[in-house]
Amino acid sequence: MSEVRPDRWPLRPAVHLAFAWISLKLERKRIDRETLRTPFFAQCYLSGATAILVSLGAAGIRYPSETATLAGLAVIAATTLWYLVIQQRWLMRLDGVGAVRAGLWGLGGFTLSTCLVFAFGWLLS
């Protein structure tokens, strides 16, 4: 079977939906198709930049050079940190959500979505 790459996996919209749901849940807003639309599309824009950077890092890892591999790992690590900070700041803009709470929700959402990626890849392999 072919490799399931994180930048091309079919569950990506589920991750956007999960983070959109988290934001509405923290705002204590009703969750329906209309209220999910704006935060969902905001997550899609963030994901586009993240996918490009992770793909760049993955290319460096696959290149047969120790320097390129380390550079690729550094790009992926920096992108992951950047993504988590953006998620935290995005959740902090909600009323009553402080830095710690936003960081924990962002990390939890990221961890859950990462586990989904690996589980889905394992099921397909």
pLDDT, one tens digit per residue, over 52-90 is: 998 999 999 998 899 999 999 999 999 999 999 999 998
C-alpha 102/C-alpha 25 separation (Å) is 12
Tens digits of per-residue pLDDT, 85-115?
999 998 998 888 899 999 999 999 888 888 8
The yes-or-no verdict on residue 10 having pLDDT over 80 is no
Give 122 or 86, the one with higher predicted confidence.
Answer: 86
Task: Give the start-to-end residue ranges of the domains of the chain.
Answer: 6-124
Q: Give the distance from CA 72 to its chain's centroid.
A: 18
What is residue 115's predicted lDDT score, i.e. its pLDDT? 85
C-alpha 56/C-alpha 77 separation (Å) is 12
What is residue 1's predicted lDDT score, i.e. its pLDDT? 44
Q: How confident is the model at residue 11 (pLDDT cuts 50, 70, 90)?
A: low
What is residue 100's predicted lDDT score, i.e. its pLDDT? 94
Q: How confident is the model at residue 12 (pLDDT cuts 50, 70, 90)?
A: low
What is residue 5's predicted lDDT score, i.e. its pLDDT? 56
Please state the length of the chain.
125
The angle formed by the CA atoms of residues 14, 85 and 87, to the nearest 5 degrees, is: 30
The yes-or-no verdict on residue 2 having pLDDT over 80 is no
3-state secondary structure of 94: coil
Q: How confident is the model at residue 43 (pLDDT cuts 50, 70, 90)?
A: confident
